[in-house]
Structure 1
Amino acid sequence: MPRVRVLPRQTSASPEARYWVVGVLTEWGLTSVRDDAALVVTELVSNAIKHTETPTVQVILRRMSPGTVRLIVIDKRPDAWPALQSAGPLECGGRGLAVVDAVTKSWGCTRWPWEKRVWADLEVKSAS
């Protein structure tokens, strides 16, 4: 069963989403993926806040299979498409999606006329 959280488009949404995701993953017993999920949701929510004017951001956490958790961030700005950037060593921004790309199995974006969903699949490592 997916878990859903709707947050206002404010700077406090990123840390709130991060704490919520960590809490859900802890509740599910998926501690191996918490740090990467916290990093990914922070980046995706921050992007939605920075690059859209949508009043709210929705975060969905879903167990896709025993080995995969999907994190989805939804905003109401389908024309603001996320893209990997190439940031220079002294630039302050532009690395977020590269980090998402590095820590996830896969990520992408699905667009409808009324919203866009940026999703990221994270690998659940088995306990050793």
Structure 2
Amino acid sequence: MPLSRQRRFPRARSSVGAARTFALETLTEWGYCDRQDDVRLCVSELATNALLHGVPPGREFCLVLDADGPLIRVAVRDSGGGWPEAARESTEECGGRGLRLVAALADDFGVTADPPGKTVWTVFKIGHSEPEGGRPSHGSI
């Protein structure tokens, strides 16, 4: 049975670390322990992009994790305008590499319209094992 969990985060710097922690705790609880560094980096990049470019003042972004067999889908939904694009490769720029990193680490990556904003998502193929204490929990928080 597919698993799903989501959490909303305020437009604050501390939300990036909180989103990372939420994702890793959820995956560990579900028994998905492979590729956690890749997932953690992608959650950081997507959450940071949402805060910098997609979340209007006073609003939140939502991190959604879905697991179905060996596939983990990580999605960040915001209510802002604009459409994210991976920056062109440049050795001169200090920023703008986040979506290129996400595209390189994930097995699939994309953006879908989710009016009034959008959802930026990634998919990872991850090995699964039973978590300590039995079966993974289902549902959302």
TM-score under structure 1 normalisation? 0.90
What SS does the aligned partner of 2:34 have? helix
Query: RMSD in angstroms over aligned alpha carbons?
Result: 1.5
Flag as ranges the 4+ runs of structure 1 deviating above 2 A. Answer: none
Residues 87, 93 of structure 1: 8 Å contact kept: no
Identity, in percent, stands at 34
Q: Distance in 2 between matches of 1:58 and 1:112?
A: 12
Q: Distance in 1 between matches of 2:6 and 2:98?
A: 23
Computing the radius of gyration over CA atoms, which structure comes out larger, 1 or 2?
Answer: 2
Q: Distance in 2 between matches of 1:23 and 1:53?
A: 24
Q: Distance in 1 between matches of 2:6 and 2:115?
A: 21
For residue 84 of structure 1, the aligned residue among 83, 86, 90 is: 86
| 1:40 pairs with 2:8 | no
What SS does the aligned partner of 1:109 have? strand
TM-score under structure 2 normalisation? 0.83
State how many pairs are aligned: 125
Deviations 1:70-121 (A, max 9, x none): 00101001x3111011242232101111110011111111113322111100
Q: Distance in 2 between matches of 1:39 and 1:16?
A: 13
- Unaligned 5+ segments in structure 1 are none
Name the structure, 1 or 2, with higher relative contact order (CA <8 Å, separation 6+): 2
